[in-house]
Amino acid sequence: MPSLTRADAERRAQTLAVTAYAIDLDLTGGDDPEHPTFGSRSTATFTAQPGASSFLDIKAVDVASITLNGAAVDPGTVADGRVELTGLAADNTVVVEATMGYSNDGQGLHRAIDPADGLAYVYGHLFLDAAPRVFACFDQPDLKAPYTLTITAPQAWTVLGNGAATATGPGRWELATTQPLATYFVTICAGPYASVTDEHDGIPLGVHARASLAESLRAQAPAMLQVTKDAFDYYHQLFGIRYPFGSYHQVFVPEFNAGAMENPGCVTFRDTYLFRGAATDDELLTRANTICHEMAHMWFGDLVTMQWWDDLWLNESFAEYMAHRTLTAISGSDDAWVDSTMSRKAWGYAAERAPSTHPVAGSPAPDADAALQNFDGISYAKGAAVLRQLICHLGDEAFVAGITAYLTEHAYGNAALADFLGAMEAASGTDLTEWSKVWLTTAGVDTLAAAMGGDGLRVTRRAPEAVPAQRPHTLDVAGWSGGTQVLAADVVLDQDEVLVRADVAGSVGLLIPNAGDLTWAQVELDAASLTALPVELPRVSQAQHRAVVWVALTDGLATARVDPRLVVDIFVAAWPLEENSSILSRSGALLTSRVLADYLADAEVPSARDAVAGAARARLESAPAGSSQALAAARILAAATRDVEQLQRWSGSVDLPAGLDGDPDFRWLVLRSLAGAGAVSAADLEAAREADHSMQGNLGALAALAALPTAADKAWAWDQLVGDHGRSNHERNALASGFWTGRHTDLVREYVAAFHRDIPALEGRVGQDALARVAALAYPRSVVDEATITATDDRLAVGDLSPAVHRSLVDQQSVLREVLASRRAFG
């Protein structure tokens, strides 16, 4: 089906305006295991230019009838997901009766069966252009309208949605009419959900999850609801605008593609945020941050919606920034910003290095499929960093005043970049023309460096050659020596080099540009600092400074400036003494999933694994039993160790670290390591799946089975990944993530060609959002060879790839090029 183009959307918006939708869904069917369906009746009222023509979006299994202003429209005229509406009146009503198909790829109306109890669950994820798979509509973000939904469902089910749901009879539900919403925000969550409800400041609250997760939900609901309440108070105080969408439900749903989705009044989250076993502090922080992020969207995105997808930063950058700001305010801790550095900004810098890099705002989005590719670390993490720089430029008071004016003026409508900039200029009295050009509409990341000399501190800025721009940076520089901070300098870098007169209390062993992580830039550590890191980094007491160093090392690996063996040495020295949970988890993952898995040559890996495992064992032994630090250490040890006997004891629940008895997710991590080593059988893994008869148990088993290092096991896993077996989006992801595990290059080399043949062929069976994830996870990055690069070049040259698959191939190939460059430099 063709993707909606911006040109078509603009013409349609000039032709008509939607006044209301009434949607009636019948969810009582869906029992056909091959092709489950549901009934949909859509009534849209809209005004139009008399005599004009336009089109309605419908992506149905079968269209029974269409009437426009009482006159029948031939359902056979529906083509490529559209039906033409001609001879429009000033006021119009179109009614569509259709049968729609449930999905298992996380888009549209997704239906999943919980293997724990056999119960079915449904949720709507209509982002980005999946609404026509649920109801007939004018599917574009600037045709907002109020919605009234009625639902028929099995009697044992609970129904939730954007409006408050009321049971009006056995299996019959009515949802309160909403405020004007964009089509992609509409959702329905239905099934035998377990619920915990509350109320705060007049707002009804609820958290919900599958019945099999009821115990975890009840245990964790108080903490999640407290974050929700505190965030509501903060947003109300900051914006002076009350939450506008009635009740506020948070639903943890199965097989969700993203982290969460900001549907007004009914936010959906991936249900792995409900932890079945032990959770580290950074995992709890990530969940709280996600809650705050989605709540920020109630204002940024839901109340005021972007005109078109090229301004998605007006949604995501603001929610990203506000989440960190809010969590810092309500927790009284800077841990949210440290976590942002380690997880979000590292993700964003990787996106900036990729060939698909793009500006924060105004990135070309000629159609919806192209726009989907811009939901990445640039639109989130870079956009949030740019907002921090804007605050440095204008002051926080003017920033908040501008935000409030922007939200008030465009409430329940749409806005664009010019509207936001106009509000900021009016609030601050500052012309932002040049600032927005270099920070918002020009792609690229600068590289910052610092050096001490006899004349002071010299700080330099180097713009990328491909997209040069004169970006001003407000930042700080820190110097450390033997555990003492001997230099603290604030810098405004508005030219390529500035000299700062700074007081230095002794010699500087480690010099960290952008130590407080206030700006968006790659940090290039000087040679002396790199050499000193094994000694100096463990003694740096500021977690934010340590986090900036780790991200600088990550970038240095990717750009072949830092030897991966040095990173192992730094890890061995610093990790056993690290306290911050985000740094422990993210730097540990850097070592196990990138340095050991990709960067090091094969001959270097055994000794490096032993060193990393030794550091993890040391941290496990020094950490308080059952603590977040101990859990992080146990996970890294399980991923890195070559001690098969220890892994086998752990898999049998023998000698487990405190707090991990009966933790099913930790057991699957251990079993996956054993599978990659060939030290467990498929029968053993199937027995483990039977013992953990759950969705997560099934995914853990699939990933471990795909990791088994035999030709037969690889053939089975690949067939399950790409064959027509009814696998869900998450099942394909699990198979793809396990398939390339371990250094079994000769065994999997033949699948380089299979990838380039079979993954693009999933087009049409798997939606673009899900397919992008599968393609990225299944890319043969572990076959570190120029032949893999050539195979991707050859496939790209054919020119028939969807935007999602094309970007995944281009970006993953770029990551492989980084690894090859590193091996050439340090091999």
Q: Is the Cβ–Cβ distance between 401 and 427 less than 8 Å?
A: yes
> From CA 264, how far away is CA 162, in angstroms rounded?
6
> How far, in Å, CA of 84 to CA of 77, rounded?
8
Residue 71's CB is within 10 A of a number of other CB atoms, namely 8
Burial 204-219 (b: 16+ CB within 10 A, else e): ebbbbbbbbbbebbee
Contact 452, 504 (CB under 8 A): yes
Q: Give the angle 780-781-785 at the CA atoms, nearest 5°.
A: 95
CA distances from residue 632 to 574, 616, 660 in whole angstroms, order as listed:
14, 8, 11
Residue partners of 418: CB distance under 8 A and separation at least 6:
none
Candidate list 294, 316, 352, 578, residue with the active-site label: 294
Evaluate the omega torsion of the peptide bond into residue 128 and state whether it is cis, within 30 degrees of 0: yes
Judge residue 437's burial from the number of C-beta atoms within 10 Å of its C-beta, 0-12 exposed, 13-18 middle, 19 or more buried. Answer: middle
Residues 67 and 743: their CA atoms lie apart, in Å, by 61
294 included as an active-site residue: yes
d(CA 678, CA 97): 54
For the chain, the residue count is 827
Provide CB contacts within 8 A for 782, sequence distance 6+. 597, 598, 740, 742, 743, 744, 745, 748
Is residue 257 within 8 A of residue 240, CB to CB? The reply is: no
- Whether 803 contacts 373, CB under 8 Å: yes
Q: Comparing C-alpha atoms, which of 664, 634, 659 is closest to residue 647?
A: 634
- Encoding tokens for residue 646? 């220890």
Cite the active site residues: 294
